[in-house]
Structure 1
Amino acid sequence: MKIIKWILRVLPFVYMTAIFIMSSLPSDQFVKLPDSEIDHNIKESLHLIEFAILYVLLVLAMLTRRGAFTPALNVACAVFSALYGISDEFHQSFYAYRSASWFDLVKDFTGISVCFYFVRGALFKGKFARLGRALGRVNG
């Protein structure tokens, strides 16, 4: 179980590195679908989950530590994810083949907010019992 905790602690850093690297490359570097409109829509929709995943990974990493996972720490995970989203948009603005936009940030923040709602409900509001039990096992 100890190795799983260390993996969960390292995953956010690995994921942030992957985001940084992929933001430095053209959007079609890895995958380009034949229909350019579908390709564009799918890649734009990924903003809804990209930083939500980071938030969830940060929550999981914080749950593996000894101290209690508090509402303030939960907010800190969400804020950190949002700030990393802002830094990612700033980073992309330096590449001619990438774009940075306020709308992308709104999508990033929306994904984080949805996950925040569920995590907060599961851990602090007595909602989403199954999710709460799963998160509790990480903390256990």
Structure 2
Amino acid sequence: MLKLVLRVFPFIYIVAVWVMSSMPDNAVVELPDSSWDAGIKESLHLIEFGILYVLLVLALLTFRGLSAKWNIILIIIASLYGIIDEIHQSFVPYRSATMIDVVKDITGVLVASWILYSAYHKKRFLKLGKLLRKIKEASTR
């Protein structure tokens, strides 16, 4: 069951991102202070596609380990989806798309990849790496 959830969840997340990007930025939540609202929503670019990368890694671990080759492939997939999402937002009324948003999307992916790849290969974040290797072992049996 865990294997199925880990494999399907990235696709659910991709659809959720697409749906949220199709709405005005205040459709789900709007903070009373507009400067805080804008700041928090802008910083979410760093997190949103980092999360996608993490979900893709978890799905990958149900098949195989996180090699350098697969790390780069997942970075490219998550980053390309960030670019596609920005293009999509450029056609949505009340939304915007900028190159700085693309840079923030890719930065989030790169930070997440550095953390997970380092953890998986026992260079840093040892507890996280242990958890990732356990997921791989449990899923690939």
Q: Report which stretch shifted further, 47-56 or 113-122.
A: 113-122
Q: Which residue does the alignment assign to 2:131?
A: 134
Q: 1:1-140 to 2 correspondence within 5 Å?
A: 3-65=1-63, 67-124=64-121, 126-140=123-137
Distance in 2 separating the partners of 1:125 and 1:87: 33
Instruction: Tell me if the contact between 1:51 and 1:108 (Cα under 8 Å) persists in the aligned partners.
Output: yes
Which whole-Å CA distance do the structure 2 matches of 1:82 and 1:126 have between them? 24
Stretch moving more, 130-139 or 115-124:
115-124
Shift of 1:127: 2.5
**Amino acid corresponding to residue 10 of structure 1 in structure 2:** V
Cα distance between partner residues in 2 of 1:23 and 1:88: 7
Conservation of the 8 A alpha-carbon contact between 1:71 and 1:124 = no
Relative to the length of structure 2, the TM-score reads 0.93
Q: How many equivalent residue pairs?
A: 137
What RMSD in Å do the two structures reach over aligned CA positions?
1.1
Separation (CA, whole Å) in 2 of partners of 1:61 and 1:70 = 14
Q: What is the aligned-residue identity percentage? A: 49
Give 1:94's aligned amino acid: F
Cα separation, 2, equivalents of 1:129 and 1:69: 15
- Structure 2, unaligned runs of 5 or more: none
Structure 1: segments with no counterpart, 5+ residues: none
TM-score between both structures, scaled by the size of structure 1: 0.94
Residues 36-57 of structure 1: per-residue CA shift (max 9 Å, x gap): 1111111111001000000000
Letter matched to residue 108 of structure 2: G
Question: Which SS does the other structure have where 1:46 is aligned?
Answer: helix
Match of 2:73, as an amino acid? A
**CA distance in 2: counterparts of 1:101 and 1:26, whole angstroms:** 16
